[in-house]
Amino acid sequence: MKRKLEISELIFKIIAYTFLGIFSICCLYPFVYAISASISGKQAVDYNQVILLPKDIQFDAFSKMFGNNMFWNAYTNTLFLTIFGTIWALFVAILGGYALSKKRLLFRKGFNFFLVFTMWFSAGMVPQYLNYLATAEAFESIGIMDRKWLIVIAMGMAAMNVILLRNAFEGVPSEIEEASIVDGATELQILTKVYIPMSKSTIATVALFFAISRWNGYFWAKQMLLGQYSNEQPLQVFIRNQLDLYMDSDYMASWNEPYSHYSELYALIVCAIIPILIIYPFIQKYFAKGVNMGGVKE
Amino acid sequence: MDKYIIYDEETQTYSMDPEQAVRDDVEKHHWLNTIKTIIKDWRLYLMLVPMLFVFFCWRYLPMYELLGAFKYSNSSLDVADQQYVGFYYFARLINGDVSPDFWAAFRNTFLLSFYGMCFGFPMPIIVALFFNEIKSNILRSTFQVMTYLPKFMSTVVMTTLTIMLLKQSDLVSEMGVVSNFMVKLGLISEDVGASGLLNGPQYFRAIYQITGIWEGAGYDSIVYFAAIIAISPTSYEAAQIDGAGKMAQMRYVVLPCILSTVVIMLINRIGSLLSIGYEKVLLLTENSTSYTVYQTAEVVSTWAYKQGMATSGEGGEPGLASAAEMMNNLTGMILVIGANTIARKATDVSLY
């Protein structure tokens, strides 16, 4: 009996290690390949001699990319959208989540439903597009000509993140709040001195979710920043435009750099993922906790 | 009204029930009290304002534009000026000149989701079960770091890498790395590699599912893994003493403990059964060199995009697109509420 048990466990363990090993390598491989290909020589990239490690190392693709003004323009746009978009979304979500976490709030159920309903039903793409166009017009009428601000203010808000914050604030013991009321704290002081410090990890998670969704945003940025607004396009749109360019065979034929034109695309991808790789270890600490608290109640 | 009025037989007069006077008073002051509470607590309500504003302007106002689905959209861009046409667009979608395309897109949407439910849904559960087997903390967190990472990459980066790795070429040596590898292993023929995996309609669904697993399976396992590590070790020990092997432990200890999580995630899945995102599909197929891939890759949202936005100004029909998406989203909403109700009745677990 004892022996049979050990065998079934051993087999299961072996399967688990093998499976996870292969799966993890498969998950990571495309990124490693992109890094290797971005610094490999022309021959090596064009004829698939790069499998895992770089060959005939060159950094010309990166230096050309760094010399390109369009690239820096797109990069600054993305940074702008990420920083201001995160600050705005966090501001809105913290205030909203705090108010919703209070039991004494009248019509609390109604406000919660108002929020949760947007998770069930969305108007769809065309109505959303018309809405954004109308918003852009409204912004122009009050003198905001940049469409960047439209993306910062109107997009990237998610009901889920407000609910995460609300649940975190609900978890703060009410005795602490009562104590601070006795000490004469105002509502804003209670929020900034008690609630925010006590739910730091959730706020960090939500901030990172917002930041990543801003950094990765593509579709609406592309739709809203066409024509005269194209110098406001973020990095993701730039990458996609470059891909379309490099897949064009005419462009390929006129290529006479010492490295493969694909290396340049890979270099661009590496530039786009490096900031995420840098903050990734910090997210790692928080997000597992944040996601687990994401159960929707009510 | 009569029962609130009391008739006094002695004096032969009518008088009002005193309790009713109190009731009336409360009724009269109910709204006043509400307003008083709000004014007393105005800071709290002021905090709600930015959130309500954002959600109202950019989540609820678009719903007003949904009226466009019932109006003739080519006459004017402003919904208010358009002529009502009733269910004209819906009729055309269900039974009319565009219906073959629409129903094909509808079928593709459903099939993509359905395959996602068959392959993409169990995958995170399996990954979480296997994570639980690995007792070494360092090794497990290494695996976790590696498998969670793709979730944080943008759709553009993921699809660009997919396109590059599956790149077509007449020469085997110039194909993308993955295509090349598959040809060498004999999984696909050289012709397929030459015409491009992303251009073949028969491969699109598989590519969509595999990239979906690459992107999400690791990250989605977090929820299940949390449920599994919450199981008390004494449960396993009790099962072992009763002579349960590994499979029996899975069946009688682990599965019942994570069932509620699985049900909740399943409800979520069912709710998004008809909402295949346009971004990934568009990005994967937009620069495809052959149109045949759209036999399987056209989903409702991309179809609506092409009807309503990509061709606007040149004969596109925003009304038709709105109607299509509205049908899709309403069905999705009914599905999630239905799944939720059934789950609550059957297992006492529900999302809302």
What is the value of ipTM here, to two decimals? 0.88
Per-residue pLDDT of chain A (298 residues; tens, 9 = 90+): 444 557 878 888 899 999 999 999 999 999 999 999 999 888 888 888 888 888 888 888 899 889 989 999 999 999 999 999 999 999 999 999 999 998 888 888 999 999 988 888 888 888 888 889 889 999 999 988 888 899 999 988 888 889 889 988 988 888 888 899 899 888 889 999 899 998 888 898 889 889 989 999 999 998 888 878 888 899 999 999 988 888 877 777 777 778 888 888 899 999 999 988 888 877 776 766 655 544 443 3
Q: Residue window 4-33, chain A: list those with CB within 8 Å of chain B.
A: 4-5, 8-9, 11-13, 15-17, 19-21, 23-28, 30-31, 33
Widest Cα–Cα separation across chain A: 80
Structure tokens at B110: 């459903």
Which of B4-13, B221-230, B305-314, B340-349 has the weakest average pLDDT? B305-314
Helix, strand or coil, per DSSP, at residue B8? strand
Q: Are A164 and A208 in contact (CB under 8 A)?
A: no
Instruction: Select the residue of A12, A123, A162 nearest B133 (Cβ to Cβ).
Output: A12
Q: How many CA atoms lie within 13 A of B327 on its CB side?
A: 22
Helix, strand or coil, per DSSP, at residue A102? coil
Specify the DSSP class assigned to residue A52: S
Per-residue pLDDT for B55 more than 60?
yes
Q: Residue A162's pLDDT is what?
A: 92
Structure tokens at A7: 């065998």
CA-closest candidate to residue A98, choices A33, A170, A158: A170
Tell me the helices (H) and strands (E) count for chain A, helix number first.
16, 0
The DSSP result for A11-25, as a single string, is HHHHHHHHHHHHHHH
CA-closest candidate to residue B69, choices B315, B285, B288, B308: B308
pTM beyond 0.80, yes or no? yes
For A118, the closest chain B residue by CA position comes to: B59
Strands (E), chain B: 5-8, 13-16, 71-72, 83-84
Q: Residue A296's pLDDT is what?
A: 40
Cβ contacts of A167 within 8 Å, gap of 6 or more: A101, A202, A293, A294, A295, A297
Q: How many CA atoms lie within 13 A of B294 on its CB side?
A: 16
Q: Are A181 and B43 in contact (CB under 8 A)?
A: no
Mean pLDDT in residue range B305-322: 73
B73 band by pLDDT with thresholds 50, 70 and 90:
low
Kindly report the length of chain A. 298
Q: Residue B67's pLDDT is what?
A: 83
Which of A95-99, A241-245, B112-116, B306-310 has the weakest average pLDDT? B306-310
Instruction: Select the residue of B134, B163, B173 nearest A20 (Cβ to Cβ).
Output: B134
Does the beta carbon of B45 lie under 8 angstroms from any beta carbon of chain A?
Answer: yes
Q: How far is A115 from chain B (nearest CA, A)?
A: 8
Which of A204-213, B83-92, B200-209, B294-303 has the weakest average pLDDT? B83-92
- Rg (C-alpha) for chain A, rounded Å, is 25
Q: Residue A1's pLDDT is what?
A: 45
Does the beta carbon of A265 lie under 8 angstroms from any beta carbon of chain B?
Answer: yes
Instruction: Select the residue of B54, B64, B130 nearest A92 (Cβ to Cβ).
Output: B54
Q: Which amino acid does the sequence have at A156?
A: G
Mean pLDDT in residue range B133-153: 89
Q: Are B281 and B109 in contact (CB under 8 A)?
A: no
Q: What is the pLDDT of residues B211-249, one digit of tens each?
A: 999 998 988 898 898 888 888 889 888 888 888 888 888
Q: Residue window 173-232, chain A: list those with CB within 8 Å of chain B.
A: 186-188, 191, 212, 215-219, 223
Work out whether the CA dihedral B82, B84, B85, B87 comes out positive or negative. positive
The DSSP result for B120-151, as a single string, is ITHHHHHHHHHHHH---HHHHHHHHHHHHGGG
Question: CA–CA separation, B284 vs B277, rounded Å?
Answer: 12
Q: Residue B249's pLDDT is what?
A: 86
B294 band by pLDDT with thresholds 50, 70 and 90:
confident
- Rg (C-alpha) for chain B, rounded Å, is 29
Top-ranked range on mean pLDDT: pick from A76-80, A114-118, B95-99, B282-286: A76-80
Q: Residue window 111-130, chain B: list those with CB within 8 Å of chain A.
A: 126-127, 129-130
CB contact under 8 Å between A298 and B180, yes or no, is no
Q: What is the pLDDT of residues B148-166, one digit of tens each?
A: 889 889 999 999 999 999 8
Does the beta carbon of A124 lie under 8 angstroms from any beta carbon of chain B?
Answer: yes
CB contact under 8 Å between B62 and A127, yes or no, is yes
Going along chain B from its start, the domains and CATH numbers come out as 1-35 (no CATH), 98-347 (1.10.3720.10)
CB contact under 8 Å between A96 and B47, yes or no, is yes
Structure tokens at A17: 């290690």
Q: Are B179 and B168 in contact (CB under 8 A)?
A: yes
Specify the DSSP class assigned to residue A257: S
Q: Residue A294's pLDDT is what?
A: 46
Q: How far is B109 from chain A (nearest CA, A)?
A: 15
Tell me the helices (H) and strands (E) count for chain B, helix number first.
18, 4
Residue A178: how many other CB atoms lie within 10 Å? 11
Question: CA–CA separation, B45 vs A264, rounded Å?
Answer: 52
Question: CA–CA separation, B283 vs B305, rounded Å?
Answer: 13
Q: Residue A297's pLDDT is what?
A: 39
Q: What is the pLDDT of residues B17-41, one digit of tens each?
A: 777 777 777 777 778 888 888 888 8
Work out whether the CA dihedral A79, A92, A288, B341 comes out positive or negative. negative
For B175, the closest chain A residue by CA position comes to: A48
Pairing of strands B13-16, B5-8: antiparallel
Q: Residue B172's pLDDT is what?
A: 80
Specify the DSSP class assigned to residue B77: S
